[in-house]
Structure 1
Amino acid sequence: MADYMGTDFYCDIAIPRRRDLVVAHEDDSVLAFEHTRPFWQIHVVVVPKQHVSSLLELEPGDLATNLLLVVQAVAADIVGRAGSASVATNLGDYQDSKHLHFHVHAGPQLR
């Protein structure tokens, strides 16, 4: 949503589905979907459904394990399709949405 002015797009918009998403994976604790404004040709975002502010706040346990397994599966799928992938998360001032999320992407940069 180009006009979204909040600080947590994932809790406010994506997880409660206040916008249509192309879902790559969903279970009780993790949602993975095609980025709504992609920066790369293939661009999937993976988020925990439970609010976690950033990677620095992620506690060891089932959520962390499941989240990383989903990131791994999404990355493997993208590598299978594109031959390569990058996985990234941002922290501090680099993090626009204050909800832990991983970008899994490949292909040329779109913007």
Structure 2
Amino acid sequence: MTSDFYCDEVLSRRTEVEKVMETDNVLAYHHTRPFYPVHIVAIPKKHIPSLLTLEEEDDALLLELMGVIKKVARDVTKEHGACKVITNMGDYQDSKHLHWHIVSGKALR
């Protein structure tokens, strides 16, 4: 069984998060265990395991997700001068749910 923190904890509301932005299909929130001074995670509310498993039917959702990421990245860059937008795949992806990190500052760990 693969781990999906986002469905099991965040979207089920078992773990409280500080929301940054939310649409009908996307949630962006402050990471619960940040690796950077600014560390925001953006996820689709629909379970999609990875960027590599997106289907053609997910195109509108991906566009909505990228719109949220763009807005959050713009806000972080405006406030902090720069940001990185990161996604992981394969063994680098701890939680098997498509997600993007919007981060700024030097890594804390």
TM bracket (short chain): over 0.9
Partner of 1:82: 80
Q: CA RMSD in A?
A: 1.0
Residue identity matched to 1:34:
H
Considering fraction of residues, name the structure with more strand: 1
Partner of 2:67: 69
* Equivalent residue for 1:44, pick from 20, 40, 49: 40
- CA–CA separation in structure 1 for the residues paired with 2:54 and 2:44: 10
Q: How far apart are residue 50 of structure 1 and its match?
A: 0.1
Alignment of 1:23-42 (within 5 A): 23-42=19-38
- CA–CA separation in structure 2 for the residues paired with 1:28 and 1:59: 19
| Counterpart secondary structure, 2:46 | coil
Once the two structures are superposed, what CA deviation does each residue of 1:18-65 show, in whole Å capped at 9, x if it has no partner? Answer: 111110011110010000000000000000000001011123421010
Partner of 2:98: 100
- CA–CA separation in structure 1 for the residues paired with 2:82 and 2:51: 23
TM-score relative to the length of structure 2? 0.93
Q: How far apart are residue 11 of structure 1 and its match?
A: 0.3
Structure 1 residues not aligned, in runs of 5+: 1-5
- CA–CA separation in structure 2 for the residues paired with 1:9 and 1:70: 20
Residue identity matched to 1:10:
Y
Considering fraction of residues, name the structure with more helix: 2
Q: How far apart are residue 100 of structure 1 and its match?
A: 0.3
Q: How far apart are residue 109 of structure 1 and its match?
A: 1.2
State the number of aligned residues: 106
- CA–CA separation in structure 1 for the residues paired with 2:55 and 2:40: 23
Partner of 2:3: 7
Identity of aligned residues (%): 48
Partner of 2:17: 21
Residue identity matched to 2:81:
G
Residue identity matched to 1:16:
S
